Amino acid sequence: MKDYKDKVVVITGGATGIGFSFAKRFGEEGAKLVIAGRREDRLRQAKAELVAAGAAVEYFVCDVAKDGDMEKLADFAWSAYGKADAIINNAGISLTTMTAIDTPEEEIRRIFDINFFGVWRGSAVFAKRFIAQGTPAAIINLGSENSLFHAVPYGAPYVATKHALLALTESLREELPAFIHVGLICPGLVKSELNDPNFMALGMDTDKFTKIAMAQIKNDEFFIVSHGYNMVWIDKRYEAIRAAYTRYAPREDGDDVFDIRTMMMRLRGG
């Protein structure tokens, strides 16, 4: 969707950090905004700043981890503007770093409820309404460089949620109608309130990041990227995978007999 003027964009976690910076970007494009989050005081503050910059904004208090809250958010967007055209599933949290085996299960479930199931809920709720609406729309999920490789030592739960988002978002891209664009934002370290302030201060400037990402969103890219050095770790991962297959499972004639996609196509007569 190259033109967001008068489009309605819903952003979870839209009061701070990357979400708020995206709200500013979409506001500059002439979009009408619904920003959502758990803290009403921060939402009010964000709305005031966005309105002062000339944006049309409403806010809605919701928790992406709660059943029913994303339905309520969608109801609010359609009530406020009569439609929605894009959902930016941005809300997320991090955890204190610790070993995978020492992380309490309740903490793992908590981060999955927000980072993964919150995005799943947002995608499912808004996708169904976009399908019914029948007009060009977008679902953009906030993944991470951790969707593509393991960037955070002692951060297995966070990395696992971002790996899972890659699988979810790829499935959405394949399954949804062509008029619904699907994208995955894969930032590296960007200034936000996600983690320890001293550490986060080392990240890329938030507005610089969203400027890079916004150009890709408007170009309907799937992978929305920023930190070039990531390719060092991506290449390392796939070189290791390729080496394993080359040594122990090299390509040979007829090896597609066990390929899942090939088998499914044959069963369907494709």
User: Each residue of 229-269: pLDDT tens digit?
Assistant: 999 999 999 999 999 999 999 999 999 888 988 888 888 87
| Residue of 4, 59, 81, 158 marked catalytic | 158
Cα distances (angstroms) measured from residue 148 to each of 144, 191, 192 = 7, 20, 21
Alpha-carbon gap, residue 54 to 251, rounded angstroms: 58
C-beta of residue 237 within 8 angstroms of C-beta of residue 149? yes
Phi and psi torsions of 180, nearest 5°? -105, 110
C-beta of residue 38 within 8 angstroms of C-beta of residue 193? no
pLDDT for residue 270 is more than 60: no
Per the prediction, the chain carries an average pLDDT of: 96
Residue 178 pLDDT: 97
Q: What is the arithmetic mean of pLDDT over 177-195?
A: 94
What confidence tier does 106 reach under pLDDT thresholds 50, 70, 90?
very high
pLDDT tens for each residue of 17-44: 999 999 999 999 999 999 999 999 999 9
Alpha helix segments (H runs only) across 4-115:
17-28, 40-52, 69-81, 105-115
To which H or E segment does residue 139 belong?
A: strand 137-142
Instruction: Out of 116-130, 134-148, 225-239, 247-261, pick the least confident.
Output: 247-261
Q: What percent of the chain has pLDDT over 90?
A: 87
17-28 vs 206-218: helix axis angle to the nearest 10?
Answer: 50
Nearest to 150 by CA among 110, 97, 103: 97
Query: Residue 206 is encoded by which pair of tokens?
Result: 């938030």
What confidence tier does 198 reach under pLDDT thresholds 50, 70, 90?
confident
Nearest to 181 by CA among 53, 62, 86: 86
158 included as an active-site residue: yes
Residue 196 pLDDT: 82
Nearest to 182 by CA among 91, 112, 111, 89: 89
What confidence tier does 197 reach under pLDDT thresholds 50, 70, 90?
confident
Determine how many CB atoms are found less than 10 A away from the CB of residue 247: 8
